[in-house]
Homo-oligomer: A and B are copies of this chain.
């Protein structure tokens, strides 16, 4: 049995953003941690973009509300992510805590001042924005081209890659978000998400330890998962032995 991976379980290494002598993260270092209860809103779409936030722990959902009451989740944020770098005067989306989470808050003016003062900060901010743009485009491809099974696999793979130990042999994910969140992220209904999970369990790609605790999912065939997600060329490894 492999170790359970969860973002909410404690401080996570920031492999993608190592803390150098001068880094964007240094700006947050002195800021106090703030705790957010599950469901608590950090800011709302259209608000004055007064702060940026560093996620320390937990998980947040970024979403836009549509006129008919529906909701489109444009992304999830995990420890190490910086939230609210919209580059505009107002926030583009709303952000809520998916589960109990902690963040640090930095006034936007402070970040702007740092960008002005230190040329080394600027490429980091640009890189954050570029990453967000790339993620948005990946999401457009997902919504344009992928079926429900592929969407779910893409989501799980993305979550896996942002978890602590993506290389684990049989990684076990602890999903903090509910099925409705996943559905709103993948452009599906909750029922279709549920059926996609069942189908992947039937195929042996996923396993659920305890039928009752359904947010804990073991990936029994990671390679096959990646293959279905469409992020791997469907070449040598056949469906039979993949995973």
CA of A174 to CA of B132, assembled, Å: 34
Q: In this complex, which of A87, A92, A132, A230 has the most chain B Cβ atoms within 10 angstroms of its Cβ?
A: A87
Query: Given A130-B86, A133-B86, A136-B136: A66 and B141 within 8 A (CB)?
Result: yes
Minimal beta-carbon separation of A175 from chain B (angstroms): 20
Out of B66, B87, B126, B139, which one reaches A130, CB within 8 Å? B87
How many of chain A's residues have a CB under 8 angstroms from any CB in B? 32
Interface string of A127-154 (1 = CB under 8 A from B): 1011011101101110111000000000
CA of A134 to CA of B141, assembled, Å: 17
The reply to whether the CB of A22 lies closer than 8 angstroms to some CB of chain B is no
CA of A164 to CA of B1, assembled, Å: 64
Instruction: Determine if B87 and A145 form an interchain contact, defined as CB atoms under 8 angstroms apart.
Output: no
Top-4 shortest CB links A-B? A143-B143, A88-B130, A144-B187, A136-B136
